[in-house]
Amino acid sequence: MHTDNLIIGGGISGLYLASKFADQEKDFLLVEARDRLGGRIDNHKGLDLGPTWFWPGQRRMTTLCKNLGISVFEQQNQGDMLYEDPNVQSERIPSQQYQMTSYRVDGGISQIIRGLEHKIPSAKFLLNHQVREIIRTEDGLTVNLNQTTNKSSVSAKRVFLALPPRLAARNMALLRFVE
């Protein structure tokens, strides 16, 4: 299998990059180790797991939601807040001490994942494929993958790591680069 652009990681960053490639009709493939897209963003039985809100200064998130037709609303922040720590007595914090505006996504932040996913042809996703190694060749890169039942490889001109830095660093230590 060959692609011009291989994206490793199916979270919001990988999906956003894939949607841009799809918009520009560029050749790409997105590889995700899990059996689902979304990375840290997940929704289980209607409950958001992972991030819940974003801040007004994150204009790219606001723009992304607008472009996907997803509405946002201000996080409720009226009333006192109760802070509980197992090592400290519970503390009530008056509302005027923590009032910061933040935004939530209507229907949950996983709506962003679904919105991006719908912009990308399903044939451009390889789920349940974990990167085993990246080998540099004269023609580009070969990425060897482990799948649940077999091994495969993808050759690519460019590889994009769309993983959280800590996860990329941990996994990169396991990868073998061959010149």
State pLDDT tens for residues 6-59: 999 999 999 999 999 999 999 999 999 999 999 989 888 878 888 888 988 899
Residue 144, domain member (yes or no): yes
| Domain match, 135 and 169 both | yes
Residue 49, domain member (yes or no): no
Does the structure show a pLDDT above 70 at 75?
yes
Tokens of 56: 């007004």
Query: pTM of the entire structure?
Result: 0.82
The more confident residue out of 154 and 85 is: 154
| Domain match, 79 and 128 both | no
Residues spanned by the domain of 80: 59-107
Residue 51, domain member (yes or no): no
Residue 156, domain member (yes or no): yes
- Which pLDDT belongs to residue 99? 64
As for how many domains the chain has, the answer is 2
| Domain match, 120 and 33 both | yes
| Domain match, 84 and 128 both | no
| Domain match, 122 and 97 both | no
Does the structure show a pLDDT above 60 at 174?
no
